[in-house]
Amino acid sequence: QADSSADASIGNITGSNCVNVFLGLGLPWLIASVYWETSGPTDEWLARYADNKNVQAFVRDNPGKACFVFPAGSLGNSVVIFVACSLLCLLTLFVRRLTFGGELGGPTKPKVATAVFFCLLWLVYLLFSSFSTTGKIPTI
């Protein structure tokens, strides 16, 4: 039986993307953390973080140990852009439900316009995050 409002489809997309993000971010961080915990500091690692006070304090307090270091950067911009794009996406889905009785489908022109808008939101997020990371726009 087909779901008349596509709620299950939207839930499936959201859930699978959350799992992808959590695994896509969490698993590499876990692997890097375990690697540096077990391998210890290399000369290159010590040289790279010679100016980092936090790393130097860790080395002083934990002789012969290394840790996975990920300097703070432009995550604030990415979060703000993501939240803005997400809110626009949710607003679009809400308006489509009121207008067409569901989030997906409906007349061809609005359906295509929504798909193009969502792709543009993705492109906006990608561009702003990239510009933020490369320093072309100031970070928050």
pLDDT tens digits for range 44-79: 999 998 899 999 999 999 999 999 988 776 578 888
Q: Which of 4, 10, 12 is nearest to 93 (CA)?
A: 10
- Give the model's pLDDT for residue 98: 92
CB 100, CB 110: distance < 8 Å: yes
Q: Is the pTM of this model over 0.85?
A: no
For residue 1, is pLDDT > 60? Answer: no
- Return the DSSP state at 51: T
* High-pLDDT (> 90) share of the chain, %: 46
Question: Residue 112 — pLDDT band, cuts 50, 70, 90?
Answer: very high
- Residues with Cβ within 8 Å of residue 31, at least 6 apart in sequence: none
pLDDT mean across residues, the chain = 87
- Three-class SS state of 92: helix
